[in-house]
Structure 1
Amino acid sequence: MAALPPQDAVPALLRIAAEHLRRLEALGEERLRQSPLQALQVPLVDALSRQAGNRDVRAALDGLAASPFLKEYARGRALDALAAQRLAEIAEADDPRGEQRARALLDTLVGKLPLAELLHAPARLRSLARRAPALGDGCWVALAAAADTPAKRYAADAALALACAQGEGAGKPGPAAGRGLLVAAAGRWLQEYRPVVAKEKYPSDLLGQALMLLGARPGYEALARALRDAGLPPAP
């Protein structure tokens, strides 16, 4: 399929996506667990994502992402492709502070998902951490301002913490302004998010993990102090 020109690949992919969705719905959740169809979801989403500049392909990705029968790991990849396209539709000149693009990212990757469910969707948080810097120097402030639900606030905080942790690992420390935002994020994690995390079975608390790692790094003394004051010494 990758070798086909778009005019041939797109119609074929749309037919495959429609048929796949029909079969998922016919199987239902119980039978799907035993079905090899699950193994096709990521390759199908990836193939569609390569053609996401096409409006009909984006509609197909939307449909797959909205299906309760699509596995979250495949859904996260579909939403990442859609987020990239939605960012591309907003010109930087029309959005100099990144506010529109921040809302587009959060609406696409998080939407109305409650925090408890977001804790089982780590790919969405990694996508947000990867896409947010395209908004410019004020990206983290723009994300924080656009986060109007607990899940979106967690996502914005986690994206910042993940980006800082990845930067530290690559020898590229984050800006001082971002470190200040991390202290506020730690406060929300301690007071608002951790009680939800504690109730979930096998949650992916990427924010908490990143904060604990960063708190042990030089230059993050204020974050480390906030964690220690809560009885949580940063990870060595």
Structure 2
Amino acid sequence: MRENKILFVTGASSEVGCGLIKQVADNYDVIVAHYRSSVDRLLPLEEKLGDKLVMVQADFSDAMSVRKMLDFMEQRELTPDHIVHLAALPMENKHFKKQDWCNFAENIETDLRPIVDILKDFLPAMSKQKYGKIVFVLTSCTVGMPPKYTSVYTTAKYACLGLMKSLAAEYADKGITVNGVSPEMIDTRFLQDLPDLIKEMNASSMPQGKNLTVDQVVPTIEFLLSDGADMINGQNIAINDGKA
């Protein structure tokens, strides 16, 4: 058992982020919880966990905001042993012909660039201590054929998948594991802008006839952060109820 373990969760104010922190809190000495604007969602966790939970604010569409967050973590000596990257822009159901490059650039800038900056800051320390675990929360769009009209969202997630795979290969000999989880649609606020018909169609395509819940996704992330996953590296694990 390692001493003084620190977990850093981006997008921690999401329902998956809050659910994960509740589930794994006893495994860490400090949990750094990133949020953009919804700090109120983290307040119940702060009340429960006290000083163990350190909340950090950053707008991932703003490089300077990310830099300030990282500088704060460095000043507080909050160098994580484990990182879970959850923060992402929501899926948009829109024809490719109605998209332009600005839409692609915005998603890549917001979903990919911040985790690049974060890992460039923290991977050297992980390498030095010969230990670290990183989990990218991706999407079922990266497993098999994605849904129609999701070109921007899917492209950004594939960029994160490419980074995950590359880092898994590059840092395998440093005792660092880098993996991804790719869940089907989860019944959370993240889907609020999608038409109900899309959510209903996805649910009907699932073997059990319903979209996933947070409690069905969190255990896989928890496992990848555990000692039991030490020999799992570079994997993108689908959470899809066996959906073909």
Normalised-by-shorter TM-score class:
0.3 to 0.5
Which structure is larger by alpha-carbon Rg, 1 or 2? 1
TM-score (norm 2): 0.33
Name the structure where strand makes up a greater proportion of residues: 2
TM-score where L is the length of structure 1: 0.34
* Higher RCO by CA contacts (8 Å cutoff, separation 6 or greater): 2
Q: Which has the higher helix share?
A: 1
